[in-house]
Amino acid sequence: MKTLHVIARTGKILQFNSAQVHILESGNVTGRPVVVLHGCGSLAQEVLLPFENSAHPLIAVDRPGYGHSTPLPEGQRGGFGQSVWLERLFEFLDLRNVIIVAHSIGCAPALHLAARRPDLLSGLLLLSPCCRPVPFKPLIMLRAAAAPMIGTVFYQQVISRWPGYFVERGLRASSYPNPVPATLANLPAHHLLNPTSIQSMADELRAFNTDMQGLTTLPADLPISVLFGLADKIIDPSWHLEWIRGKHPAPTIKLLNDVGHMPHHIAPDFARTMLSDLAGIADTGSGIGSLDIVSIGRKRAHAGFRQQLTAG
């Protein structure tokens, strides 16, 4: 992969709340706005790729501390704090009836915003959502890179010398068991991995469990669609889907056999169809949540997983 010397894609850089936020716009200029949120350690340009040139007006955001966006103050960098930031950004951009598309831990601020300000939203499309408090993981490399004093040395002597290696390693792990899509070869390694983004990763992961424990319910009348790969090795689909089904009475859940943590890149047509279907539900006010397991390879649908999710 050639991620080292790629120039970061730049859209609009806005001065907002005495800070900077970077957005990329694509798709139609009219219609229901769709805001796209990337996951941990990523960028707006990554999560936007599968939805580029959509029939919907798309706004992909570098979340605080990533890309060209200024980090939030300490203590506000978790999902709840980012949801407050997102609410203010919507007001700044005069956005109403928004559909949010979010990937992985980027779903945390989307869910908190849905719980606090459902009046701003028309629906959520959650891609491999990391939303339920998770058991402790050591994450030694990230902790070393974000540690006081040691982190600066570790970044200068290790990460800054081989950022392409670390980005490729992360993409391979996230894409597994699928190959890394060729479209992701153009991600700028130095822009993805810098001291600010590394600290932002560490801070939002540190705040994650506490923030998500405080989210007790989601508005029943807000359409929520979920796309998960059953072969995800980054997070456990059943762990997080159980949480979602406990907070919302009728989420629409689509599960892909033989797909890992990047279903929007491995099955982009499927992700785009889910977005269009969600927009249709938002427009008509109709639609019933369902569970569907889809095979995009040769294996049969995982019946045991269906039974596990539908039990009780």
What pLDDT shows up at residue 135?
81
20 belongs to a structural domain: yes
What domain count does the chain have?
Answer: 1
Q: Which domain holds residue 87?
A: 12-137+208-310
Instruction: State the pTM of this model.
Output: 0.88
Report how far apart, in Å, the C-alpha atoms of 103 and of each of 35, 109, 153 are.
12, 11, 31
Alpha-carbon gap, residue 238 to 230, rounded angstroms: 9
48 belongs to a structural domain: yes
- And the tokens for 99? 């559909």
189 belongs to a structural domain: no
Alpha-carbon gap, residue 172 to 190, rounded angstroms: 18
106 belongs to a structural domain: yes
Average pLDDT score over residue span 164-171: 80
Averaged pLDDT score across all residues of the chain: 85
Average pLDDT score over residue span 167-195: 89
49 belongs to a structural domain: yes
Q: What tens digit of pLDDT does each residue of 46-61 get?
A: 999 999 988 999 999 9
Alpha-carbon gap, residue 284 to 180, rounded angstroms: 37
Confidence grade of residue 307 (pLDDT, cut at 50, 70, 90): very low
- And the tokens for 197? 């983004």
DSSP character for 156?
I
192 belongs to a structural domain: no
Q: Is pLDDT of 312 > 50?
A: no
Q: Is pLDDT of 69 > 80?
A: yes
Q: Is pLDDT of 240 > 90?
A: yes
CATH code for the domain in which residue 279 is found: 3.40.50.1820
Alpha-carbon gap, residue 37 to 34, rounded angstroms: 10
Q: List, in order, residues 6 or more apart from 15 with CB less than 8 Å away.
A: none
What pLDDT shows up at residue 42?
94
261 belongs to a structural domain: yes
Q: Is pLDDT of 138 > 50?
A: no
